[in-house]
């Protein structure tokens, strides 16, 4: 059996006395698209931030390509991040830069390419997400939410990363734009052959962009299986979540993290 | 209830905050002196912090110099020491008012802007996005601002000193009837290198403090628009208090006996 692309073992993370991740285990194989579903505040974002090195887990092990990423020097960590792309929930575009500079940011700052070459690649990536070259000169603030998501996607794939994270890719979009983004994600991921990890609470989106789904509840993965089998999970938590029922074993947390 | 408990908690909170700030300051400084550097960002910040603060600092020091001449003239007339006005103006401007007033004005103008900009970048995940694009936010966001602040404030203060002395000159000549040649002569007569130099050292320290507090509060802001607002307020208030504190300490180091 090959080493998984990303491996989380017994990851714990707490803020103050609030336990967020409580022994999380998850393996993501090379080329696999995994979606983690779960309600608000169960630790989905924290999981991704731990893998990215934005947060350090209190306990446990995180490996990328079989190498532990905890306790890496900042130079090693940067090298790992260079093969990771991320689409943020709000886009997180740099508003001091225009659209093409945003897309080219990883190429210019991260990889040190010259601006002209980076601009050409950026325009290609913008075209890949269905945006014309005239958009490249606009400022991110001039774009609608859906357009910002597209630019964010273009930025995430610009350096042709091996791993891509999607944080709530369809949240805050209308259903049509949400589906457009889903299609773009599937298309881009197939072209790159990337390994992806997404977090969402949009079940339609999860079904479309994943080949495996894992359900996170109270800091642990309580169910994981191929996307096709989610309707027959036999797990009352999963059933309640995918059918969006107020009644069931899951009780809503009042306070956010 | 133990009456000492709130006291201890306040002390621990203070030590905690001081420690965090110290670690932040050391990390930031170490990134200021290690490559890679971003020269174009440093230049842009120098223009923002230095050039665009000129009108504010110029007007502040101009009127301070004018009022200083007027006040010391009416005060000194009581014991027939009007001749000391020029010396009082130039020493007060270079040693105290130039650096302190410029520092406080820049804290309001630049410190607030830095905290608001970096704070917004934090809450919209732009700082996380920098990390995922293999760019260190300390190097890309903070180091250029600290370098620019530390270098530009002495320049601003030097210009402010000259404008302030000029303001005193205008009032003394056109309102109080001093002889221009005598006034200029007595301005130079007792001025020593150390007077100007200590003011410029103060300016460099104040420039570092203002940009550091702006960056620190912005970088650690939490919780949306309100958090950014709080960060902005804290940046200006803490920078102003630290400026006045360090003003005393540096004066003590230079001129204390």
Nearest to B129 among A74, A92, A111 (CB): A92
Has residue B77 been placed in a domain?
A: yes
Tell me which residues of chain A have a pLDDT lower than 50: 257
Q: Across the interface, which of A82, A90, A95 has its CB nearest the CB of B125?
A: A90
A160 vs B contacts (CB less than 8 Å): none
Which residues form the domain of B246? Answer: 36-255
pLDDT at A257: 47
Q: Tens digit of pLDDT for each residue in B45-58?
A: 999 999 999 999 99
Burial of A172 (C-beta count, 10 Å sphere; 0-12/13-18/19+): middle
Q: Which residue of A has its CA nearest to B124?
A: A92
Q: Is residue B201 part of a domain?
A: yes
Q: Which residues of B touch A52 (CB under 8 A)?
A: 128, 131-132
Residue B25 covered by a domain? no
Per-residue DSSP letters for chain A?
A: -PPPSEEEEEEEEEETTEEEEEEEEEEE-TT-EEEEE--TTSSHHHHHHHHHTSS--SEEEEEETTEE-TT--HHHHHHHHTTEEEE-TT----TTS-HHHHHHHIIIIIT---HHHHHHHHHHHHHHTT--GGGGGS-GGGS-HHHHHHHHHHHHHTT--SEEEEESTTTTS-HHHHHHHHHHHHHHHHHHT-EEEEEES-HHHHHHH-SEEEEEETTEEEEEEEGGGGGG---HHHHHHHHT-SSSS----SS--
Instruction: Select the residue from A64, A88, A148 to test the B interface by mutation, using most B Cβ atoms within 10 A.
Output: A88
The verdict on residue B208 lying in a domain is: yes
* Cβ–Cβ contact A78 with B under 8 A: yes
**CB-side exposure of B166: number of CA atoms within 13 Å?**
11
Q: Chain A partners of B129 at a C-beta cutoff of 8 Å? A: 86, 88, 92-94
What CA–CA distance (Å, rounded) separates A169 from A173?
9
Q: pLDDT (tens digit, 9 = 90+) per residue, B67-110?
A: 999 999 999 888 888 888 999 999 999 999 999 999 999 999 99
Q: Is residue B24 part of a domain?
A: no
What residues in chain B have their Cβ under 8 A from chain A's Cβ atoms?
121, 124-126, 128-129, 131-136, 140
**pLDDT score at B229:** 94
Q: What residue in A sits closest to B128 (Cα-Cα)?
A: A54
Interchain pair B126, A95: CB under 8 A: yes
Query: How close does chain A come to B219, measured CA to CA in Å?
Result: 13
Select from A154, A110, A158 the least CA-distant residue to A135. Answer: A154
pLDDT for A139: 92
* Residue B157 located in a structural domain: yes
> Is ipTM strictly over 0.90?
no
Q: Tens digits of per-residue pLDDT, B174-183?
A: 999 999 999 9
In this predicted structure, the answer to whether residue B163 has a pLDDT above a threshold of 50 is yes
Chain-centroid distance, C-alpha A82: 15
- Determine, yes or no, domain membership for B20: no
In-domain check, residue B131: yes
Q: What residue ranges define each of the domains in chain A, with the CATH number in brackets?
A: 1-75+195-247 (3.40.50.300)
**A15 CB within 8 Å of a chain B CB:** no
| Mean pLDDT, residues B249-253 | 95
Number of independent structural domains in chain B: 1
């Amino acid at each position: 059996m090959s080493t998984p692309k990303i491996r989380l073992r017994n990851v714990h993370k707490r803020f103050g006395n609030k336990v967020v991740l409580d022994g999380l285990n998850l393996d993501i194989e090379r080329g696999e698209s995994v979606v983690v579903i779960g309600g608000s505040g169960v630790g989905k974002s924290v999981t991704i931030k731990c893998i990215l090195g934005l947060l350090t887990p209190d306990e446990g092990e995180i490996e990328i390509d079989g190498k532990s990423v905890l306790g890496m020097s900042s130079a090693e960590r940067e090298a790992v991040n260079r093969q990771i792309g991320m689409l943020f929930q709000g886009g997180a575009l740099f508003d001091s830069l225009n659209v093409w500079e945003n897309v080219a940011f990883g190429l210019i700052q991260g990889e040190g390419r010259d601006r002209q070459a980076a601009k050409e690649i950026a325009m290609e990536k913008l075209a890949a997400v269905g945006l014309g070259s005239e958009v490249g000169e606009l400022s991110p603030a001039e774009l609608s939410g859906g357009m910002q998501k597209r630019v964010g996607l273009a930025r995430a794939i610009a350096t042709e990363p091996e791993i891509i994270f999607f944080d709530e890719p369809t949240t805050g979009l209308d259903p049509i734009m949400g589906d457009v983004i889903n299609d773009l994600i599937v298309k881009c991921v197939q072209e790159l052959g990337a390994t992806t990890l997404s977090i969402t609470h949009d079940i339609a989106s999860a079904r479309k962009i994943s080949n495996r789904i894992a359900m996170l509840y109270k800091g642990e993965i309580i169910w994981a299986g191929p996307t096709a089998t989610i309707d027959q999970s036999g797990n009352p938590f999963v059933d309640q979540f995918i059918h969006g029922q107020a009644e069931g074993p899951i009780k809503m947390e009042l306070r956010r993290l | 209830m133990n009456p000492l408990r709130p006291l201890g908690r306040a002390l621990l909170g203070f030590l905690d905050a001081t420690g965090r700030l110290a670690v932040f300051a050391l990390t930031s400084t170490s990134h200021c002196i290690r490559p890679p550097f971003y020269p174009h960002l440093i230049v842009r910040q120098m223009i923002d912090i230095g050039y665009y603060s000129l009108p504010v600092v110029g007007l502040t020091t101009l009127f301070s110099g004018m009022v200083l001449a007027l006040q010391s003239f009416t005060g000194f007339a009581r014991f027939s020491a009007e001749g000391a006005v020029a010396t009082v103006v130039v020493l007060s401007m270079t040693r105290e008012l130039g650096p302190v007033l410029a520092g406080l004005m820049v804290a309001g103008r630049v410190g607030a802007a830095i905290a608001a900009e970096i704070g917004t970048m934090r809450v919209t995940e732009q700082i996380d996005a920098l990390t995922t694009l293999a760019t260190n936010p300390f190097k890309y966001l903070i180091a250029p601002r600290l370098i620019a602040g530390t270098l530009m404030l002495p320049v601003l203060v030097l210009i402010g000193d000259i404008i302030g002395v000029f303001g005193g000159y205008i009032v003394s000549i056109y309102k109080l009837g001093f002889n221009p040649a005598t006034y200029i002569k007595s301005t130079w007569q007792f001025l020593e290198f150390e007077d100007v130099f200590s003011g410029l050292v103060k300016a460099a320290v104040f420039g570092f403090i203002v940009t550091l507090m702006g960056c620190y509060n912005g970088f650690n802001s939490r919780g949306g628009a309100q958090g950014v607002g709080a960060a902005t307020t804290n940046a200006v208030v803490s920078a102003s208090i630290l400026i006045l504190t360090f003003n005393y300490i540096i004066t003590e180091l230079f001129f204390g006996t």
